[in-house]
Structure 1
């Protein structure tokens, strides 16, 4: 197959173009085009008609490719080179280049979401939410970038940024409607998720199935603050002990419900995947699931809690 590669060479794990090209050739494919992560993928699809788009990078690179490919016949393949790799991990992807390319005989239809708000319309593949996650993203953005850190150290730094944000976070009023059913409350966190994790591998929806045509809606109120703090402390302790912290992740259980359509209305910043948006005056944001909008090569079942 003719492959277009979207390559983020600043991702946490470096693999050269030569290695990628040689591996594709060995498996009977052709590296036809190489694009930077800021390229106009939609225009490239119209002009060049690739048979596969391979996104080599972190969650930002993969999500950008997914937005361009949603609703298209061209499938997405993922080579996870980032720090968290939430999308690849949630889809049960292998991590080595040979594993990734060898798995392309299998494919899976994956859901995407559409968020409509004051900014317009934007697709997403991870989650949309308010409260803790936007606060953590903003805290990470204020820290100086340290690209020389290895991946697990970058994850630790990000977990620490989220933890340090929690004591200053106030539960905010939020008007929620899940498939038209109101569920208003005061929340520290609201996440409307397609996959199981967000940010520095924060597994908030353990049983999320990215192919079931449903959002997993996770909420945390003031009564969950201590549980969230213990979760972050265990994650940091596990990192210092040289373990991955997956067993500890399984102990964080927040209320999760499912819905096909969600309306969210709250003051303050909101994130759509890794991008922050201001929502002036607490205007309503509408979220709609797009079942099976994206075809992903090599994607299997999501990993069980405690396993990679």
Structure 2
């Protein structure tokens, strides 16, 4: 009988995602479940007799656990990690095609498939965290994060309403946001220009489930650098509009470049690392490179 170490964010999701419900589902599937909460100080102490780790939470919880695992030594570092998506956007799980009812996800572990997961390493910025698992970028998205906080919209408790609110606000600012100049070197080639958004993406989705990297995968050994120049402003707004109206979303494609090593200097101060917005000095040079096969995830 396999032993699972369940790391649970009790603030993510609803009553169906409570400690009691999750443990019951996992044990009913035939596993020994060792539970810990992210509210506990010792959740980072992963027991040696663990077959795989399960993260029950959203993208922020996944990032928090990944940050710990990256500092661990083998063999803990190579323990397979499974996700029970209980957050608002769940962009990491969506990018790995982990979705559906929790019981169905748990049942899928009996015939496990694994994939390597890359992470992005960040150099030259003054603040931590120093790596990302979803995306790093400038422009529309960090500006959206600032406006959500400024307008108090991060406090919306119902996740579908919060998602729709973020999409509505993104639609509004996409019409008024001005392009910024970005000095951009991708794998030694110059792609500098004026952009509404410059995103170095490791997942296929960003922010409020914006599907900007349809051909990417978190374990393919490459970033997808997604660039939206000023002349794509209406096209981007139309994409957001289709999501807001629950229309059949046309697969919009924006300028996308595969990359392993990226140097950026943005004529502005605001940047994001996953779901954290940072303020840098204007034109701060930033170096991003991929760390391949950093972790193992169950899919």
TM-score of the aligned structures, taking structure 2 as reference length: 0.89
Using the TM superposition, give the Cα deviation of residue 4 of structure 1 relative to its aligned residue in structure 2, in angstroms: 2.4
| 2:261 paired residue number | 261
Which residues in structure 2 correspond to 1:44-193 (within 5 Å)?
A: 44-45=45-46, 50-70=50-70, 72-104=77-109, 105-116=112-123, 117-120=125-128, 122-144=130-152, 145-149=154-158, 151-193=159-201
1:35 equivalent in alignment to 2:37: yes
8 A contact 2:8–2:35 mirrored in 1 = no
Which residue in 2 is equivalent to 1:276?
Answer: 277
Map 1:209-288 to 2 at 5 A: 209-238=217-246, 245=247, 247-248=248-249, 250-266=250-266, 267-288=268-289
1: distance between equivalents of 2:183 and 2:42? 36
The 3 A distance-change label for structure 1 pair 281 and 148 is: closer
CA distances 1:93-139 after superposition (whole Å, capped 9, x unpaired): 13322222222222111111111222255221111000001011111
Contact 1:6 1:55 in 2 (8 A): yes
**Residues of 2 paired with 1:94 and 1:164: CA distance?**
29
- Please tell me whether the aligned partners of residues 10 and 37 of structure 2 are also in contact (alpha carbons under 8 angstroms): no
Paired residues in the alignment total 287
Unaligned residue ranges in structure 2 (runs of 5+) = none
Q: Unaligned stretches of 5+ in structure 1?
A: 239-244, 300-308
Kept in 2: contact 1:65–1:76 (CA 8 A): no
Q: Residue 306 of structure 1 aligns with which residue?
A: none
CA contact (8 A) 2:163 2:208 kept: yes
3-state SS, counterpart of residue 217 of structure 2: coil
The answer to which of 91-100 and 30-39 deviates more is: 30-39
CA distance change for structure 1 residues 40 and 118 in 2, over 3 Å: closer, same or farther?
Answer: farther
User: Following TM superposition, where does structure 1 have runs of at least 4 consecutive aligned residues deviating by more than 6 angstroms?
Assistant: none
Q: CA RMSD in A?
A: 2.0
How many angstroms apart in 2 are the aligned matches of 1:67 and 1:40?
Answer: 15
TM-score, scaled to structure 1: 0.86
Maintained 8 Å contact 2:89/2:208: yes
The question of whether the paired residues in 2 share the 8 Å contact of 1:60 and 1:274 is answered with: yes
* Match in the other structure for 2:12: 11
